[in-house]
Amino acid sequence: MPDPVQGHSQVPFLLSLSVSAGSEILSVYGEDFSAETKSDGSPVTVADERAEAVILAGLAEAFPSVPVVAEEAVEAGKLPAVGERYFLVDPLDGTKEFVSRNGEFTVNIALVDQGVPVFGVVYAPVLGDIYWGGRLPADLAAGDASGEGAFKAKVVDGEIVDAAPITVRKAPSEGLSVLASRSHLSPETAAFIERFKVAECVSFGSSLKLCVVAEGRADLYPRLAPTMQWDIAAGDAVLRAAGGQVLEAQSWQPRAYRVPAGATKSDLLNPHFVALSDTALLAEAGIVPEPA
């Protein structure tokens, strides 16, 4: 099997870029720092800003024709006009986890093409876990198109090692493993979980929840509360590549990502969604998806 890290010449670059951003985050994580509050009430630290600066510089150099929608830039009023293809960047997903120092935060870089997150990288710097999945379009890949799929590796001293493919699992007969947000479990989400046969409910922070489903350690992650496109697109790409889906909670169709002309930050809100290993699980809750 070809080395998944070397599948495209640009894939190693994107993985390395996320690791570099993670290094900036860790340099702040090991020191005393303070958090400010953004307009939506969420926290932000200098680590968010430093990590985003690294990612924006790297993407501008490697992919100059692809616009980038990045969380802190949008917060500062810099939302570029985009077409069908754009990068989505969350330089530090799970800032509440960062502030509480529990390690469950990630660097997220995703490429969206015609509404679909076709490639994504999710890196958890403290845990040393990096996930990626999907395929770069041929005109951006700049090399071999092998390596399609979803993968997990370890990051040791800045190097990516022990890369291996991951895939979703078949739901256990004894009941589902359901993931919930450590910081944002809404009453609607709790009520939705009660519709399933659940063996365990585990709390996780950040986009790690999507990756845990992708690697076959859990089955369901419902999020019936506000999130932004950059919070989930990279994890969505990994999950799709591993055989799962992120479905919008009213149509029960795959999440479609768009940035309309003249968009503002509020236009980047996600609808409520459910990430799952197998769409057949919806039948257990009596849900029938609308026709595509």
Is 71 known as a binding-site position? Answer: yes
Is 94 known as a binding-site position? Answer: yes
Is 90 known as a binding-site position? Answer: yes
Amino acid at 176: L
Please give the Cα distance from 10 to 53 (Å, whole number).
Answer: 19
Is 231 known as a binding-site position? Answer: yes
Please give the Cα distance from 43 to 8 (Å, whole number).
Answer: 36
Tokens of 179: 């993931």
H-type alpha helices, the chain: 10-29, 46-62, 71-75, 95-100, 138-141, 187-193, 208-214, 229-241
Q: What is the DSSP letter of 270?
A: P
Q: Up-side HSE of residue 66: CA atoms within 13 Å toward CB?
A: 25
Sheet with 245-248: strands ordered across: 198-204, 176-181, 220-223, 273-276, 245-248
Nearest residue to 191 (alpha-carbon basis) of 235, 249, 253: 249
Nearest residue to 36 (alpha-carbon basis) of 50, 47, 52: 47
Is 262 known as a binding-site position? Answer: no
Q: Are 161 and 154 in contact (CB under 8 A)?
A: yes
Residue 79 φ/ψ region, left for φ over 0, alpha for ψ in the -120 to 50 degree band, beta for the rest: beta
- Residue ranges of the annotated binding site for Mg(2+) are 71, 90, 92-93, 231
- Residue ranges of the annotated binding site for substrate are 71, 92-95, 231
- Residue ranges of the annotated binding site are 71, 90, 92-95, 231
